[in-house]
Structure 1
Amino acid sequence: MGLHAVVVGAGIGGLAAAVGLQRTGWEVTVVDRASVLADEGAGISLAANGIRALDALGVGAAVRAAGRGQYTGGTRTPRGSWLARMDGAALERALGSPIVGIPRAELHRLLRAALRPGTLRTGVTVTRATTLPGGARARVEYEAADGPGAAAEGGCAEADLVVAADGIGSRLRTALFPAHPGPVHSGSTVLRAVTDRPLDLRTDFEITWGRGAEFGHIAFADGRAEWHAVLNAPAGVRHADPLAVLRRRFAHWHAPIPELLAATRPEAVLHHDVGELATPLPSFVSGRVVLLGDAAHAMTPNLGQGACQALEDAVVLAAELEGAADGGGIDTALARYDGVRRPRTTAVAAAARQAGRMGQQLSHPLAVPLRDALMRLAPSGLAVRAILRHAAWTPPLTRGFAGE
């Protein structure tokens, strides 16, 4: 038998890690506490680094086919005037791929389809992951899950590696790093949905900045669209009818914002507070447990890099672990992963936080028009260069990834 990894969490990062590890020779089990994977999250934009990571995992072509390239759009004011235009063609020339918009449910489906049959187990709540004495193995403890389809009755299992991809509220991270303050509220809350029907949209992607508010949309290949509304708000604020609240809040913003809201069913609206790991972790590795994605570096969505960084994590982890044949090999590979990924994700998270403060979160009545004026005066290539700074990433070439 080969080396075995247990991946905790069947989100984008966990599924990608499992695909990568299987392609580089590992046996993998993915467990998720949900009995039924709902694939919530509406839609997602994937920059070139995320698409390149998916290429390395063998699913990039399928994602491109299912998604829609973002060539047109940009940033606007509530009245509709342009602050900055998107040049998707320039990005594609520079990076080999435009930004791609795709429903999250479709991305999850494509990643699951790339796994070997029997890899995924749902209804498994992992409560603890520890490195066994000697350091060469890890133990996963799990408990019974509630609800239809629950698969676990409680117990434990051993593996050569545990990948903690259990999200921003990671139980495993809390247990491994009890002194870390954990996630904090960013000061923003986000409501989002996918329209119930296609719309005649003139752009592929837009965001609009008001005072302490952002509204954006991503057009999908089938004509529907994902929209999101981000507002400055304390954590925990919820509304009995969130769609009605948004229709009032954005009633006088430019088209197609009212049309997007009108094309949405009230029950389709998702509402989540925006959290982040504002304090970087001291390490992404503890013995034979490695953290990945939001469990390691949850960031605000202002650069659209959260999922892309998780995909990068998955590819780098699999590349470093390819061919590891003994305990020393695995430990060295994990140390390299930490050394590569922690500095990059820390920098991207800091840049996303700053982008939010200067963008959606900015609310001072004098600061907002000043920002808008500076954006209009900025050279046309500045936005492209800003995206290139984070999206210009190349996957490591390994035997498992060769030819993709």
Structure 2
Amino acid sequence: MPPSATTSENAGTFQNHASQEIAIVGGGLGGLALAIGLLKHHVNVHIYESAAAFSETGAGVAFGPNSTRALGLIHDALLEGYKKHATFNENRDHDHTFLSFRWGMDEKKEGGNKAGDLMWHLEDLWNTEGAQKLDVRTRSCIHRARLLDELVALLPQGITSFRKNFVSAEEQLDGSVKLYFADGTTALASAVIGCDGIKSQAREIVCGPSVQATYVGEYAYRAMVPKADAEKALGKELARNGQLYCGYGAYVVTYPVEHGDFTNMVAIPRESGESYSWSLADWTVPTTRDEFVQHFKGWYPPLVEVIAKYCGPQKWALFNLQHSAPYYKGKICLLGDSAHATTPHLGAGAGMAMEDAFILSSLIASVKSSEGIESAFRAFDSVRRPRTQQLIKNSRIAGLATDFMMPGVEDDTDRMKDHFKAWYKWLWHEDLEAQLQLAKNLLKVRDDAITDRLASI
């Protein structure tokens, strides 16, 4: 049932300014998850989406334990919808395995490992019961379109306006926020939350024009390979369970989606040298299979051959958004990629948006009215900016590690494993409910300080 029909301990407590809704700019995964969380708490929302309909680019997305926990914390029905489409490692011996690390090419030493050889299985060694309680496993994957469908199914009719290209927003004298759109229309809201992705227009208002996504010198080739061809090329074990192939200057990740009907394969080479550029306006450019094969000469032949057969006609540039600016300004806040876009090397970007949605929706509900919304945004920024910006740093270094380019590690797989274990322990086992309580404590400290100042007047 839609979240607006559910009950909540905060039900009926939040009062929007002048009966206006909170405006969510952008109808991607993060924006819709936030809307569901707010509606569960009976907070009125309206979504403004630039496209003519809800849609998602890309193919598979991977969720770890932190991400699936966040889905359930946002709304039980969201987690249940996710589980209908989630694909896991088929081999039950790998229920707690996120990825199996392998050599993508021969080791550069006499008698070294060969392409395709196993390095190690990256496993959740710290809290295997957590995933089991949610009836998932350490790694789960879903096609973005299926997750979008489940999010949309939880939204009531009439809360979305399509073909609305957001241009700007400004606070009014009565405390509301006025939104301006490219078609000349406007709208009023209690507050605005920018969920408009890496090219965010809302971010320019909040952070200023100097905070821009940066090309990181890597790009991705993508292939969605039918089950039969993936198994023929790689065998059932490799095709039906998540794998990460490391190499000198590149890596390839593969994992099953759509309940194993397809294997999603993504190959990411790194540009050589210190100078490289790519316009954010054209973050996908045409490519050819021959170009892909040229980049991956010397790699595991069955892997290269099957990706070349199904490689898409475009390659995707990788950007991130490393900065120190607050994620809010007044009654305008940022969520997900608009605030902290990251590289995909730890498989955590979409999951971070789900964490954001849980924390922010709960904080907004806790401040009781639109007059306290800026305090909620401030508390959100205090607890989310350190974690999300740390992820960006960790992910960049993880990309170097998989390319055997991490200083002091290179192709020493034992040292590499130690780093990945530390990164994933930090990522997977954040206590989101404790983080929310910390943010609420920050709200209370500020409220108490205001009360004390008023008492002294």
Q: Which residue of 2 aligns with 1:114?
A: 154
TM-score by length of 1: 0.85
Q: Which residue of 2 aligns with 1:371?
A: 410
Amino acid at match of 1:122: F
1:396 aligns with 2:415: no
Q: Which residue of 2 aligns with 1:225?
A: 263
Decide whether the 8 Å contact of 2:355 with 2:432 is kept in 1: yes
Amino acid at match of 1:189: Y
* Alpha-carbon distance change, 259 to 394 in structure 1, aligned in 2, over 3 angstroms: farther
Task: Single out whichever of 289-298 and 242-251 deviates more from structure 2.
Answer: 242-251
1:138 to 173, 177, 180: 177
The CA deviation string for residues 286-343 of structure 1, in whole angstroms up to 9 with x for no partner, is 1111100111111111111111111111110001011433344222222211111111
Distance in structure 2 (CA, Å) of the matches to 1:295 and 1:225: 29
Distance in structure 2 (CA, Å) of the matches to 1:377 and 1:173: 38
Higher relative CO (CA 8 A, sep ≥ 6), structure 1 or 2?
1
1:193 aligns with 2:223: yes
Decide whether the 8 Å contact of 1:25 with 1:323 is kept in 2: no
The answer to which structure has the higher helix fraction is 2
* Alpha-carbon distance change, 361 to 39 in structure 1, aligned in 2, over 3 angstroms: farther
How far did residue 269 of structure 1 move? 4.7
Distance in structure 2 (CA, Å) of the matches to 1:304 and 1:389: 13
Q: Which residue of 1 aligns with 2:100?
A: 74
1:202 to 237, 260, 277: 237
* Alpha-carbon distance change, 155 to 239 in structure 1, aligned in 2, over 3 angstroms: closer
Distance in structure 2 (CA, Å) of the matches to 1:161 and 1:206: 43
Q: Which residue of 1 aligns with 2:441?
A: none
1:242 to 288, 302, 307: 288
Q: How much is the aligned-residue C-alpha RMSD, in angstroms?
A: 2.8
Distance in structure 2 (CA, Å) of the matches to 1:386 and 1:241: 33
Q: Which residue of 1 aligns with 2:65?
A: 48
Amino acid at match of 1:108: L
* Alpha-carbon distance change, 377 to 285 in structure 1, aligned in 2, over 3 angstroms: closer
Amino acid at match of 2:349: G
* Alpha-carbon distance change, 354 to 104 in structure 1, aligned in 2, over 3 angstroms: same
How far did residue 83 of structure 1 move? 2.3
* Alpha-carbon distance change, 330 to 377 in structure 1, aligned in 2, over 3 angstroms: closer
Q: Which residue of 1 aligns with 2:123?
A: 87
TM-score by length of 2: 0.75
Q: Which residue of 1 aligns with 2:299?
A: 253
Q: Which residue of 2 aligns with 1:354?
A: 397
The CA deviation string for residues 48-74 of structure 1, in whole angstroms up to 9 with x for no partner, is 111111112231122123111243541
Q: Which residue of 2 aligns with 1:64?
A: 83
Amino acid at match of 1:386: W
* Alpha-carbon distance change, 240 to 284 in structure 1, aligned in 2, over 3 angstroms: closer
Amino acid at match of 2:249: G
Task: Single out whichever of 63-72 and 202-211 deviates more from structure 2.
Answer: 63-72
Q: Which residue of 1 aligns with 2:321?
A: 277
Identical aligned residues as a percent:
23
Decide whether the 8 Å contact of 2:50 with 2:165 is kept in 1: yes
1:168 to 184, 198, 218: 198
Decide whether the 8 Å contact of 1:91 with 1:384 is kept in 2: no
SS of structure 2 residue aligned to 1:372: coil
How far did residue 255 of structure 1 move? 6.0
Structure 1 alignment gaps of length 5 or more? 145-153, 399-404
Distance in structure 1 (CA, Å) of the matches to 2:221 and 2:347: 16
Structure 2 alignment gaps of length 5 or more? 1-13, 106-114, 437-457
Distance in structure 2 (CA, Å) of the matches to 1:89 and 1:102: 23
Amino acid at match of 1:389: W
Decide whether the 8 Å contact of 1:43 with 1:194 is kept in 2: no
**Counterparts in 2 of 1:287-306, with a 5 A limit?**
287-306=330-349
Decide whether the 8 Å contact of 2:15 with 2:369 is kept in 1: no
Distance in structure 2 (CA, Å) of the matches to 1:61 and 1:256: 37
SS of structure 2 residue aligned to 1:322: helix
Distance in structure 1 (CA, Å) of the matches to 2:179 and 2:187: 5
SS of structure 2 residue aligned to 1:68: coil
Task: Single out whichever of 317-326 and 252-261 deviates more from structure 2.
Answer: 252-261
How far did residue 250 of structure 1 move? 3.3
Distance in structure 2 (CA, Å) of the matches to 1:90 and 1:335: 32
The CA deviation string for residues 342-398 of structure 1, in whole angstroms up to 9 with x for no partner, is 1111222211122222323729xxx79x6323x24677x874453121111334399
Task: Single out whichever of 317-326 and 103-112 deviates more from structure 2.
Answer: 317-326
Give the number of equivalent residue pairs: 379
Distance in structure 2 (CA, Å) of the matches to 1:55 and 1:83: 33
Distance in structure 1 (CA, Å) of the matches to 2:416 and 2:398: 16
SS of structure 2 residue aligned to 1:301: coil
